[in-house]
Amino acid sequence: MEPPKIWREKRQRYLGIGIECKDCSAKTFPYSTHCPKCGGENITEYQISEKGKIVQFSQVYQTAKEMMSNVPYAVGIIELEDGIKVTGQIVDIDYSEIKKDMLVRRVLRIIGKDSKEGLIRYGFKFVPINYSLK
């Protein structure tokens, strides 16, 4: 984990900041200096929707060391209310209970830890709405 990368992406990772194009109105994530739809530079910051639904999902047993303390965990493609799609972990639910189209909410969580005393990387994950762990 490189500190400049974590610093550069902090607003995207902590707040879900993408862009809205003032020319073509496209809303996209992650942040970019040009609109990925029309290529224009006339952009403004935009915070992606907090809520969305699960498009498809799977489970991870092996990953980078910094995230191994969380395995097995669920990961999926989430379609947000504003139409933007992102990839994220689905937490606070048993894997067997996860269903397609389930409603989820974006929350700030620890994603990875370099080592016991190393860097901690934060970012967003998704928790189901109207669901409580049994």
Site residues, another protein (CB under 8 A): 5, 9, 30, 55-65, 67-68, 70, 73, 75-78, 85-89, 95, 111-112, 121, 123, 125
Residue 92 or 130: the one with the smaller Cβ distance to another protein is 92
CB of 59 to another protein, least distance (A): 5
The 8-class DSSP code of residue 30 comes to S
Write the CB contacts of 133 (distance below 8 Å, at least 6 apart in sequence).
92, 93, 94
Q: What are phi and psi of 80, to 5 degrees?
A: -80, 165
CB of 9 to another protein, least distance (A): 7
Q: What are phi and psi of 103, to 5 degrees?
A: -80, 135
Residue 7 or 130: the one with the smaller Cβ distance to another protein is 7
Encode burial over 80-101: b for 16+ CB neighbours within 10 A, e otherwise.
bebebebebbbbebeeeebeee
CB of 87 to another protein, least distance (A): 5
Residue 30 or 103: the one with the smaller Cβ distance to another protein is 30
